[in-house]
Amino acid sequence: MKTLSETLGIKVQHKTFLTASWPAPANVKTLITTRNGGVSEKPFHSLNVGTHVGDNPEYVARNREIVQSQIDLPVAYLNQIHSDIVVNATDALLTLTDADASVDTTGQAACASMTADCLPVLFCDKAGTVVAAAHAGWRGLAGGVLQNTVRAMQVEPLEIMAYLGPAIGPEAFEVGQEVFDAFTAQISSVDSAFEAIGGGKYLADMYALAQMVLQREGVTMIYGGRHCTVLERDSFFSYRRDGQTGRMASVIWLDNDA
């Protein structure tokens, strides 16, 4: 019997790490973790990097070490609160910071977004002088976290590339009227990202919403947006699917030695 992923034509990956598929400069490096390759036990199995989900702290610390072994710079994890706050990644290394995006121009810290259905967005400029990572659930998307990240990069939007990492896909993201209203109040053409399914409910395409937000900011080089964390259960954590679960990390950094 075929799995749901196979029925829908989704290729199941059992890799530990993925990378962004985009034409970024050679000195821009990325790493996207899956749920595989770590030490955590159910329901966090196995590469959970979230310290706030109820997992054994020793397991999380070991999982972060596994991730860190793949990255040349210290990773700046944030205390994500579904806000529009953007900070410097180097500052976030010093203390756990309430924010949902970080930016770096120094090549001294890696920017990270933790997710388990929300949308991680990785950014760089064509010249390879600045990188950023944003955590964007629907509240963050509606609240301006991507706009603020673009502005914090302090380069022309037409010079910016954005990569949309693994998130809940349009077949699985059922939302209520409040989500529809939050976006239609800002973007007139946003209806195309929602499919009404009755009872004041919609299927929302978070990838399409992010593209609309970024394009309004002048960012036209947008990549990714091809996964579904809910349906690809062998590869990704999903809060919507499982409730108590782990978190992946999408990480980007500048390699000044490249």
Query: What is the tens place of the pLDDT at every residue in 156-167?
Result: 999 999 999 999
Handedness of CA 136, 142, 144, 146 (dihedral sign): positive
Is residue 233's pLDDT more than 50? yes
Tens of pLDDT, residue by residue over 191-202, are: 899 999 999 999
Domain span at 69: 15-167+220-254
Residue 20, domain CATH: 3.60.140.10
Query: What is residue 175's DSSP assignment?
Result: E
- Output 257 or 79, whichever has higher pLDDT: 79
**How sure is the predictor about 25, in pLDDT bands with cuts at 50, 70 and 90?**
very high
| Domains held by the chain: number | 1
Looking at the domain assignment, is residue 7 inside a domain?
no
Looking at the domain assignment, is residue 10 inside a domain?
no
- Output 8 or 19, whichever has higher pLDDT: 19
Looking at the domain assignment, is residue 201 inside a domain?
no
Measure the CA–CA gap between 72 and 97, rounded to whole angstroms: 22
Q: Where are the alpha helices (DSSP H) in 122-248?
A: 138-143, 145-152, 177-184, 206-216, 239-242
- Answer whether the bond into residue 43 is a cis peptide, omega within 30°: yes
Looking at the domain assignment, is residue 205 inside a domain?
no
**How sure is the predictor about 64, in pLDDT bands with cuts at 50, 70 and 90?**
very high
Looking at the domain assignment, is residue 122 inside a domain?
yes
Is residue 153's pLDDT more than 50? yes
Query: Which pLDDT score, from 0 to 100, does residue 3 have?
Result: 34
Tens of pLDDT, residue by residue over 32-61, are: 999 999 999 999 999 999 999 999 999 999
H/E stretch holding 48 reads none
Give mean pLDDT, residues 209-232: 96
Measure the CA–CA gap between 198 and 205, rounded to whole angstroms: 16
- What are the counts of helices (DSSP H) followed by strands (DSSP E) for the chain? 8, 14
| Structural contact between residues 237 and 48, judged by C-beta atoms closer than 8 angstroms | yes
Beta strands in 126-176 (DSSP E): 131-136, 160-164, 174-175
Is residue 102's pLDDT more than 80? yes
Measure the CA–CA gap between 228 and 258, rounded to whole angstroms: 32
Tens of pLDDT, residue by residue over 106-129, are: 999 999 999 999 999 999 999 999
Is residue 185's pLDDT more than 90? no
